[in-house]
């Protein structure tokens, strides 16, 4: 690979059908890389096996192709960085875990869901991890760890540094300079008590191993970025540029994908919506075009740019745009 080539990816979890928000993120990630003349990969993030189903993989690939998105490498095409399915890449996560353990960056956590239930009501906004872990197990002695280990298998948590360059970064799409309080992010799980590797570890390892230069994803994963940057730093890996797109909401501010299960790409196809019409609606919503009109995804490549709102300000998919989408 030419090391000046930009590389991006879309990495859905096969736990259901793709919805309008997924479509917007996938389209933006694809447009960013196609505009740069780069390489685009598709990766299946099925590391959470209880939630993932193989049957969803082919359906998600069909949805993306219907939308007009293609990829240069992926589970169906192969490529230089295969395999493109996380469940086949666990040896890489084991190696990274061993490096973190040897460097003293992890500690066992014996907290149960019941122990952490009191945190559920803590405000955390757009958070991929939920409320910050308060460090109950951070300073256990070896004797205390041994006593707890007799009753419960631990998860492994990463020592989030109290301060780090990882907690401030520039969003590569919006240009916003974003800062997080490292300490308030809390120590996060890299391997669960049931042995499943966490999203934070797996995605960091995979993006580095696949030479990804640009990660574009939704604002709901915004607080994952400083956590992953901290992992890049701890593992001595080169981090990609990160960009985030706003979530899509209805007029009341509720996330559209949660409000209306009928707005999956499969359901839109069933209702006769043309992909060019959906692309036009999303382009108008983002501010890439002045008003909705039918467009093929490839026609948007030259028009792609920053979104019209700030990262944490949702894009409002109002009734007027919804009516236009369905032919109104």
Mean pLDDT check: name the lowest of 36-40, 73-77, 149-153, 296-300: 149-153
175 and 107 housed in the same domain: yes
pLDDT on residue 1: 44
119 has a pLDDT exceeding 80: no
pLDDT on residue 121: 40
What's the CA gap between 237 and 178, in Å, rounded? 21
What's the CA gap between 61 and 64, in Å, rounded? 5
Report residue 288's pLDDT band, with 50, 70 and 90 as the boundaries. very high
pLDDT on residue 260: 63
Query: Which residue range forms the structural domain that includes residue 302?
Result: 7-88+246-325
286 has a pLDDT exceeding 90: yes
The average pLDDT across 133-150 equals: 92
Q: How many domains does the structure of the chain reveal?
A: 2
In a domain, 46, yes or no: yes
Name, in order, each residue with C-beta under 8 angstroms of 203's C-beta and a sequence gap of 6 or more.
Answer: 11, 45, 224, 228
First-to-last C-alpha distance (Å) of the chain:
47
In a domain, 225, yes or no: no
Report residue 221's pLDDT band, with 50, 70 and 90 as the boundaries. very high
pLDDT on residue 125: 42
35-52: buried (b, 16+ CB within 10 Å) or exposed (e) per residue?
Answer: ebebbbbbbbbbbbeeeb
Q: What is the pLDDT of residues 2-58, one digit of tens each?
A: 457 999 999 999 989 999 999 999 999 999 999 999 999 999 999 988 888 889 999
**CATH number for position 17:** 3.40.50.620
In a domain, 20, yes or no: yes
The average pLDDT across 130-159 equals: 92
Q: What is the pLDDT of residues 299-312, one digit of tens each?
A: 999 999 999 999 99
Share the mean pLDDT of the chain. 91
């Amino acid at each position: 690979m030419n090391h000046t080539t930009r590389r991006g990816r879309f990495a859905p979890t096969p736990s259901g059908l793709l919805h309008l928000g997924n479509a917007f993120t996938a389209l933006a990630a694809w447009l960013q890389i196609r505009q740069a003349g780069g390489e685009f990969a598709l990766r299946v993030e099925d590391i959470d096996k209880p939630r993932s189903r193989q049957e969803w993989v082919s359906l998600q690939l069909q949805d993306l192709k219907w939308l007009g998105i293609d990829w240069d490498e992926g589970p169906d095409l192969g490529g230089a960085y295969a395999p493109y399915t996380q469940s086949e890449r666990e040896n890489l996560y084991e190696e990274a875990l061993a490096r973190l353990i040897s460097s003293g960056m992890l500690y066992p956590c014996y907290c149960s869901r019941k122990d952490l239930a009191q945190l559920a009501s803590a405000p955390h906004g757009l958070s991929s991890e939920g409320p910050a872990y308060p460090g109950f197990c951070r300073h256990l002695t070896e004797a205390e760890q041994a006593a707890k280990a007799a009753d419960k298998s631990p998860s492994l948590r990463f020592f989030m540094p109290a301060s780090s360059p990882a907690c401030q970064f520039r969003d590569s799409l919006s240009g916003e300079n974003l800062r997080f309080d490292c300490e308030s992010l809390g120590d996060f799980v890299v391997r669960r008590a049931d042995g499943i590797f966490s999203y934070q570890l797996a995605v960091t390892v995979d993006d580095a191993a696949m030479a990804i230069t640009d990660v574009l994803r939704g604002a709901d994963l915004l607080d994952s970025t400083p956590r992953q940057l901290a992992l890049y730093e701890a593992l001595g890996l080169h981090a990609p540029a990160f960009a985030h797109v706003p979530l899509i909401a209805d007029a009341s501010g509720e996330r559209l994908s949660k409000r209306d299960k009928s707005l999956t790409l499969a359901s839109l196809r069933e209702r006769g919506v043309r992909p060019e019409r959906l692309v036009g609606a999303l382009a108008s919503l983002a501010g890439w075009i002045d008003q909705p009109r039918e467009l093929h995804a490839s026609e948007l490549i030259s028009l792609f740019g920053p979104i019209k709102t700030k990262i944490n300000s949702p894009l409002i998919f109002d009734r007027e745009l919804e009516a236009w989408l369905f032919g109104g």
